[in-house]
Amino acid sequence: MDADVVVIGAGALGLSTALHCALAGRSVVVTERHTAGSQASGRAAGLFKSVQADELRTRLARRSITRALSFAGWAGVPLPVARSGSFLIARTPQHREYLGQELAQSRRWGADVREAARTELSYYHPAGDEYALWCPEDVYIEEPASLIQACLAACRRHGAVVAEDEPVIGIPVTAGRAAGVETERRSIAAPVVVDAAGGWVRQVAGLAGARVPVAPVRHQLLITEPASDVDPADAIARVVDAAVYLRPARGGLMVGGFEPGPLPVDPEQQPASFSTDDVPLDLGVLRKLAGQVAAEAPAADTTSVAEHRGGLFTMSPDGRFVVGPVPDLPGLWVASGCNGSGFSSSLAIGEALAAWMTSGTPPPGMTALAPDRFGPLTGEMLVSRGLWQYAHYYDPAGVAS
Ligand SMILES: Cc1cc2nc3c(=O)[nH]c(=O)nc-3n(C[C@H](O)[C@H](O)[C@H](O)COP(=O)(O)OP(=O)(O)OC[C@H]3O[C@@H](n4cnc5c(N)ncnc54)[C@H](O)[C@@H]3O)c2cc1C
C-alpha cells in the first residue's frame, strides 16, 4: 500500500479532506491534474454564509466559519479572514416575507441573525423601504488562493503529499473495492480513494464505473477598479430579490450573482483538455445583474471592470452537497455537489468526511448527503434540477418566485 488515502483533486474540498485525514494520522497523497486551486476554488468569491436553507447546511457553514477563524490554531498556518458580517436585503414584499422565514429558522438552527435597523454600507444606499437582516458571523476570504495556499502548507506540514500536474486516468477495482489510482505517471495503491474532482467529478467516478449525481453550471463574478464609495471595512451585501452579492475587493467592489437562465457546461461533452479557463464568460449577464442594484449600489454598475472571472459549480438536484461513500463500490468516496458553497463549507466537510472515513461512523446528519439519495435520474433531469437550484440560490424553497 502506498497511502492510506488518495484524494483526486486539489481544490478546497480535496485539500481540506486530505488535511483532516493527515491530522487524523493517515498517510495521504493528493493527485491534481493541474495546480492546486487552479479550477473552481481559485475563482471563488470567498464568501462564507451562515444563513442556509436547512439545519445541516447551517451547521456545516457555521462550523467552517469557526474553523477558518481558528485555522492557525489547529492547522498551524495563518489564514487571513475578513470578519465583515453581512446584510441580507429584500426589496419586495415576497422576499421580505421569505427573509422573515429565514430569520426564524436560522435562529432556531443556532445562527446569530438579527433584523437590521439600517444597512450601514458605503457602497450601498438603501431606498428606505428595504427589509434587511444582519448576519454578524459571516466572513470572507479576500483572495481565494489564500485558503488554498494555507491548506497546501498545512497538508505538507502534517505529512500529506500533494502531487500537481498528475492527472488520474484510472481507478482500479480489485475484488469489488476501489484499490487506488492510476495517474499518468504511476500507480498509487490505497484502500480509500476520494473523488474531489470538482466539475470533473462524474468523469473521475466513471473511471470506476460509479455515478455521481451532479450537473456542472457556470458561475461568474467581476471586481471593479478601485472606487471612492467602497470602504474596505464594509460588510458583504446580498440583495436576494436581485440574486446579487457584493463585497469590497482590492479597493473596488466585487459583484456576482445568479442569472435566472444559467448555463450548464459539462466537461464530459468538451475536449479532454477542457479546463476552467475554457468556461465561456459573458459580461452581459453580470451587467444585467449589476443593473438591478444600480440605484442602490452605483459602483457595481458604473465603475470599470478590473477582473471578470468564472468557473463551474457542481449542482445537485436538491441543492445539497454530495458527500460520502459511493454505494456498491467500497473504498470510493465523494466530496462534491458544492452548489456554490463548496469553498466556504470545505473546512467542515473535509473534517466530517475524514472523521467518517477514519472512524467508520458517519458524523450526525451526514448520511443525508449520500450520493445515492436521488435514485435513478436521467442526465436531463440532473441538469434541469441543477439549473433550478442555481437560479434559486437565495430562494431555495422557491417561495418568492
Ligand atoms: C466565480 C465563482 C465564485 C464562487 N464563489 C463562492 C463563494 O463565495 N463561496 C463558496 O463557498 N463557494 C463559491 N464558489 C464555489 C466554489 O468555488 C466551489 O464550491 C469549490 O471551489 C469547489 O471545490 P472543489 O474542490 O470541489 O473543486 P475545484 O476547485 O474545481 O477542484 C477540483 C480539482 O480536481 C482536479 N481534477 C479534475 N479531474 C482530475 C483528474 N482526473 N485527476 C486529478 N485531478 C483532477 C481539478 O483540476 C481541480 O483542481 C464559487 C465558484 C465560482 C466559479
- pLDDT surpassing 70 at residue 399: no
Return the SS3 of 232.
coil
**Going by CA atoms, what residue is nearest to atom 51 of ligand 1?**
44
Q: CA-CA distances (angstroms) from residue 329 to 77, 365, 374?
A: 36, 22, 17
Burial class for 368, CB neighbours closer than 10 Å (0-12, 13-18, 19+): middle
Lowest mean pLDDT of 1-5, 139-143, 149-153, 165-169, name the range. Answer: 1-5
Once rounded to an integer, what is the mean pLDDT over residues 380-395? 93
Establish whether residue 342 lines the binding site of ligand 1, counting it when its CB lies within 6 angstroms of any ligand atom: yes
List phi, psi (to 5°) of 358.
-85, -25
**247: alpha, beta or left? (left if phi > 0; alpha if psi -120 to 50):** beta
**What's the pLDDT at 394?**
84
Q: How many A from CA of 55 to the centre of ligand 1?
A: 24
Q: CA-CA distances (angstroms) from residue 187 to 10, 28, 29, 159, 307?
A: 18, 14, 12, 20, 40
**What's the pLDDT at 87?**
98
Q: How many A from CA of 88 to the centre of ligand 1?
A: 25
CB 199 within 8 A of CB 40: yes
Which residue among 15, 29, 39 has the greatest number of ligand 1 atoms within 8 angstroms of its CB, and so is best to mutate? Answer: 39
Q: How far apart are CA 238 and CA 240, in angstroms?
A: 6
**Going by CA atoms, what residue is nearest to atom 21 of ligand 1?**
41
pLDDT in tens, 320-346: 999 999 998 999 999 999 999 999 999
% of the chain exceeding 90 in pLDDT: 95
88 or 377, which is more confident: 88
| Closest C-alpha to 123, from 307, 253, 223 | 253
Once rounded to an integer, what is the mean pLDDT over residues 267-290? 97
Q: Which atom of ligand 1 is nearest to the CA of 343?
A: 11
**What's the pLDDT at 397?**
63
Establish whether residue 257 lines the binding site of ligand 1, counting it when its CB lies within 6 angstroms of any ligand atom: no
Q: Which three cell numbers stand for residue 57?
A: 447546511
395 or 332, which is more confident: 332
pLDDT in tens, 199-237: 999 999 999 999 999 999 999 999 999 999 999 999 999
Q: Which atom of ligand 1 is nearest to the CA of 169?
A: 41
Q: How far apart are CA 332 and CA 401, in angstroms?
A: 39
Q: Write down the mean pLDDT value for the chain.
A: 96
Beta-sheet strands, E only, within 42-105: 86-90
pLDDT band at residue 45 using 50, 70 and 90 as cut-offs: very high
Establish whether residue 338 lines the binding site of ligand 1, counting it when its CB lies within 6 angstroms of any ligand atom: yes
**Residue 31 β-bridge partners:** 8, 163
Q: How many A from CA of 343 to the centre of ligand 1?
A: 7
Establish whether residue 39 lines the binding site of ligand 1, counting it when its CB lies within 6 angstroms of any ligand atom: yes
pLDDT band at residue 398 using 50, 70 and 90 as cut-offs: low
**Going by CA atoms, what residue is nearest to atom 19 of ligand 1?**
342
Q: CA-CA distances (angstroms) from residue 300 to 90, 169, 388?
A: 18, 43, 26
| Closest C-alpha to 265, from 319, 336, 216 | 216
- pLDDT surpassing 70 at residue 372: yes
**What's the pLDDT at 1?**
64
**What's the pLDDT at 117?**
86
- pLDDT surpassing 90 at residue 18: yes
> pTM of the prediction?
0.98
Establish whether residue 13 lines the binding site of ligand 1, counting it when its CB lies within 6 angstroms of any ligand atom: yes
Establish whether residue 316 lines the binding site of ligand 1, counting it when its CB lies within 6 angstroms of any ligand atom: no
**What's the pLDDT at 119?**
85
**What's the pLDDT at 173?**
97
Q: Which atom of ligand 1 is nearest to the CA of 345?
A: 11
Q: Which three cell numbers stand for residue 369?
A: 448527503
Establish whether residue 221 lines the binding site of ligand 1, counting it when its CB lies within 6 angstroms of any ligand atom: yes
Establish whether residue 313 lines the binding site of ligand 1, counting it when its CB lies within 6 angstroms of any ligand atom: yes
Q: How far apart are CA 162 and CA 17, in angstroms?
A: 12
**What's the pLDDT at 195?**
98
Once rounded to an integer, what is the mean pLDDT over residues 377-389? 94
